[in-house]
Amino acid sequence: SQTIHQWPATLVQPVGSPLSLECTVEGTSNPNLYWYRQAAGRGLQLLFYSVGIGQISSEVPQNLSASRPQDRQFILSSKKLLLSDSGFYLCAWSARAGTTDTQYFGPGTRLTVL
Amino acid sequence: AQSVTQLDSQVPVFEEAPVELRCNYSSSVSVYLFWYVQYPNQGLQLLLKYLSGSTLVKGINGFEAEFNKSQTSFHLRKPSVHISDTAEYFCAVSPAYSGAGSYQLTFGKGTKLSVIP
């Protein structure tokens, strides 16, 4: 069966510091991968998605970037965090083949920027 | 483009009572529909999904949802809730084709279900 991991689970960072969140998927090959941010009262916002190694699509202009160095690894980064980057970050995967786009989510990373 | 409206941000209900969480969507193309549940400080878990076929979809934990194309709705129901159902529920929609943009899953803002003992 497929498993998705995220780390760290919780992170407290000062404004202006760098960020690196990691997501890995096990038990599947060539997945589509996604990064979402969930801010209080605002639902889920899609930040990035990737259909393959080195292929990243950005959904909103922001202070963040994403990379996919390996097939089942997805990294969310920032060079300098802003207060507004605080939130709950969720990684998700879906199977690339087939006709459905069911997305399966990881446990999330709670980021607090102070 | 698609949009999702969850009509209630919070729904309190007594234990063992029935509940309905409402979801309406807007789309110019055919869609797939999903309900996810999120427990505090956890990721989203898929409850059920509608892809095609029967409009009544059964999911985990005793939940079901009915797709109504004419009313563009996908309401979630459970005949008898438990304390453990206290969580936030998200309705989501994606285009039902595999062309560009098919990766897009659009979420509603969520409904917080509180089950009162």
Measured between CA atoms, how close is A93 to chain B, in angstroms? 10
Measured between CA atoms, how close is B35 to chain A, in angstroms? 11
pLDDT in tens, B9-56: 999 999 999 999 999 999 988 889 999 999 988 999 999 999 888 899
Q: Alpha-carbon distance A74 to A69, whole Å?
A: 7
Residue B95's pLDDT band, with cuts at 50, 70 and 90, is confident
- Strand B111-116 and strand B10-14: the pairing is parallel
- Considering only CB atoms, which residues of chain A are within 8 Å of chain B? 6, 32, 34, 41-44, 46, 49, 51, 88, 90, 92, 94, 99-108, 110
Residue B99's pLDDT band, with cuts at 50, 70 and 90, is low
Q: Which residue of B has its CA nearest to A6?
A: B43
Q: Alpha-carbon distance A31 to A29, whole Å?
A: 6
Q: Alpha-carbon distance A33 to B48, whole Å?
A: 20
Determine, for residues B103 and A34 on separate chains, whether the beta-carbon distance falls below 8 Å. yes
Q: How many CB pairs under 8 A join A and B?
A: 48
| DSSP letters for chain B | --EEEES-SEEEEETTS-EEE-EEEE-SS-EEEEEEEE-TTS-EEEEEEE-SS-SEEE-GGG-EEEEETTTTEEEEEESS--GGG-EEEEEEEEESSSSTTTT--EE---EEEEEE-
pLDDT in tens, A48-69: 989 889 999 888 767 899 999 9
Closest CB to A100: pick one of B51, B107, B109.
B51
Closest CB to B103: pick one of A32, A99, A107.
A32
| pLDDT of the residue at B98 | 60
Measured between CA atoms, how close is A74 to chain B, in angstroms? 16
Closest CB to B105: pick one of A6, A103, A107.
A103
Q: Alpha-carbon distance A80 to B114, whole Å?
A: 38
pLDDT, mean over chain B: 92
Determine, for residues B94 and A32 on separate chains, whether the beta-carbon distance falls below 8 Å. no
Q: Alpha-carbon distance B57 to B67, whole Å?
A: 8
Spatial neighbors of A53 by CB under 8 A, at least 6 apart, are A68, A69, A70, A71
